[in-house]
Structure 1
């Protein structure tokens, strides 16, 4: 009895050992198979090839099919002093003017103009090095002198940005751009100047230029230059005093900006920039009904300059908010400029990867 039990026990033990050895051999075979290079595995040579191909097409614009939406808030303040004079000619005893005059009243009144602009800028990557963009501004203006207020659509604009050469670290990056601005806002040449304020320029504008930047870690240098052609406006019928405005030939403009950005950390950056522009003289064609004559009135060329300081703060891993403060350096420039730029997450409307 004992001998039979021992033989059965030894047989079961041998079977267990054989099964364990078989499982171990099967596991080793699976491990060996897993470590063997498969047809769909990427080897070192293929990985390096993909890296080099990506480096050959590395651009700083949006990738093909990429979409970005930004919200911008801008505030500008113009302050001035307006002098109202009441001058009466001096009369002799016969009631005839003597050629001299007397100031009866002189009133100095402060004039302030406040402009609030909420705009949405949408960009779409048509190609890796070609981006299309559009800007939709909503304008609110208030004039303290005339006590006028307006809420209207501003001038819609479209932009094309093209980067001919890929971005190479350590080298200067160049981007060419062109834009078209439409006269969708309330034109200053169509409104009643005594009862309304304008929200647009009143004419079409075509512009083109070049922007360049260079990274010198932790500093980024940038500059931009552009030229704008302003299309003349004809067929107007705006009353200005005793005359009627018929045509406006706005002067073309030349703009230049330059500055730098400094990264304080991964989450905070500072930038300073200067923006200057030169506007050529503008010619107005005025018709006087009483005389039946058309006369030209020319306003001289203008120069403007703005200094801007901006703070960029990373509020989330994918979101950077920019706050800027600026001031005008010439008489025709805004006295105070405030701005906020914030990207809007539209991940849900982006095309799927690989499209």
Structure 2
């Protein structure tokens, strides 16, 4: 046996068994005919083996890094990553979903892959007995994968139950959100016109009115992100209203009730809004988002519809019912709303709240249109300011569905006419219990449903809202 064959020994045999077909054909002559390979061929074989060992080592390091990444994603103690992975059902913002973890290929033994196995750490050929140092592993790309859905320092998503979404739209992303809202309210009013001789006897007239109101509002909302912390929004609504009033004609001694039906439809008041995230937030830290919304008066003005009055609707000598013959679709006043939204993630729930203030701008020289084309002067009018707040909790059911519970309350100030409080104007309290549900239909579409139940007399009895945000 030649000396170089003796030096190969078992290592040469193992290399011949584990090497690819091309290398096996080159090593086979050593055992068949004993031909002595040249030093160039031996050097080439050693280089190829070293390259393949380096390739295998690099592949094993990548597999190990991916396995450690999957273990970190499933560890409950990692609150930051869990807070980013939970609550993905309410895709209000319309951003892309979280990237699925890569499917790792099976680790095959060297005999199957045809690549020689790397040396164990305890068998370094240059320094026997000294463990080989472990190369630095690349950083796990978990955070990079989350940026497609929810970037770091961005608030968690919750099922929307109001007009103020919590998650901002990512920059360069456009969201088109068609929506439909239905509201129903009913109220009874009893007016006693006369005087009492004793508490049980009334001399005069009793005016009883029952009002049933149905309101349908469809809207198209578009928003886009200007930066990681700021977004803008435009909302264009279309309103259809139907009112039915059951009453007896005032100042008329009749026992017959009369039904007064009226409807109205048309474009509503266009709104423009902007929101900005004030802080970074994080796990067990609150997020604060400031917003500003402007509402125009593009809808049909309440003072432009014909009121059922022959000459006057206020003061003495009132004639007619005083009800509009056609319902308006807008408020008739410009308004500006400032909001502050707060979100606090506490795995697995997200707590949220909102404070808002609405300022209605005054109108001068207001007149009301009555029958026969006549106008009744009302002077200057300014609706009262609206102070509101809401709070609630969002809970992720799975990676597609989420549920939200909350309460919304608004207090509306009294109307002012010609610088003084309007006669008959009172402060109004509106309270609503809210329930919202969100389901992600696809990576770019979500279905959001919210139900509101009125808990005060002046609040609509029920409100149902359906939204379908789509990302482009």
Q: TM-score, normalised by structure 2?
A: 0.56
RMSD: 3.8
**Aligned: 1:215 with 2:345:** yes
Distance in 2, matches of 1:130 and 1:320, equals 22
Aligned residue number for residue 12 of structure 1: none
- Contact 1:111-1:144 within 8 A present in 2 as well: yes
Question: 1:20 deviation in Å?
Answer: 10
**Which aligned pairs between 1:256-267 and structure 2 lie closer than 5 A?**
256-267=389-400
Structure 1 unmatched runs, 5+: 1-15, 38-42, 88-99, 287-293, 348-355
Distance in 1, matches of 2:345 and 2:210, equals 46
Q: 1:223 to 1:44 in 2, by over 3 A?
A: farther
**Aligned: 1:67 with 2:197:** no
Q: 1:296 to 1:46 in 2, by over 3 A?
A: same
Aligned residue number for residue 254 of structure 1: 387
- Contact 1:248-1:282 within 8 A present in 2 as well: yes
**Which aligned pairs between 1:31-50 and structure 2 lie closer than 5 A?**
31=52, 47=139
Distance in 2, matches of 1:86 and 1:307, equals 37
Aligned residue number for residue 405 of structure 2: 272
Relative to total residues, which structure has the larger strand share, 1 or 2? 1
Match 1:184 to one of 281, 298, 312:
298
Partner of 2:363, secondary structure, is coil
Compare CA radii of gyration and give the structure with the larger one. Answer: 2
Q: 1:205 to 1:36 in 2, by over 3 A?
A: same
CA deviation profile, 1:108-130 (whole Å, cap 9, x unmatched): 55321100011122111101101
- Contact 2:232-2:274 within 8 A present in 1 as well: yes
- Contact 1:83-1:109 within 8 A present in 2 as well: yes
Aligned residue number for residue 187 of structure 2: 80
Distance in 1, matches of 2:288 and 2:370, equals 46
Distance in 2, matches of 1:156 and 1:64, equals 24
Aligned residue number for residue 271 of structure 2: 157
Aligned residue number for residue 286 of structure 2: 172
Distance in 2, matches of 1:295 and 1:84, equals 22
- Larger RCO, structures 1/2 (Cα 8 Å, 6+ apart): 2
Match 2:232 to one of 110, 113, 132:
132
Q: 1:17 to 1:209 in 2, by over 3 A?
A: closer
Q: 1:24 to 1:301 in 2, by over 3 A?
A: same
- Contact 1:238-1:246 within 8 A present in 2 as well: no
Question: 1:45 deviation in Å?
Answer: 8.5
- Contact 1:285-1:297 within 8 A present in 2 as well: no
Structure 2 unmatched runs, 5+: 1-23, 30-40, 59-134, 156-167, 195-201, 246-259, 308-323
- Contact 2:184-2:461 within 8 A present in 1 as well: yes
**Aligned: 1:329 with 2:455:** yes
Distance in 2, matches of 1:59 and 1:17, equals 59
Distance in 1, matches of 2:396 and 2:151, equals 27
Select between 232-241 and 186-195 the one with higher mean Cα deviation.
Answer: 232-241
Q: TM-score, normalised by structure 1?
A: 0.73
Distance in 2, matches of 1:50 and 1:338, equals 39
- Contact 2:192-2:204 within 8 A present in 1 as well: no
**Which aligned pairs between 1:188-203 and structure 2 lie closer than 5 A?**
188-193=302-307, 194-203=324-333
Question: 1:320 deviation in Å?
Answer: 2.9
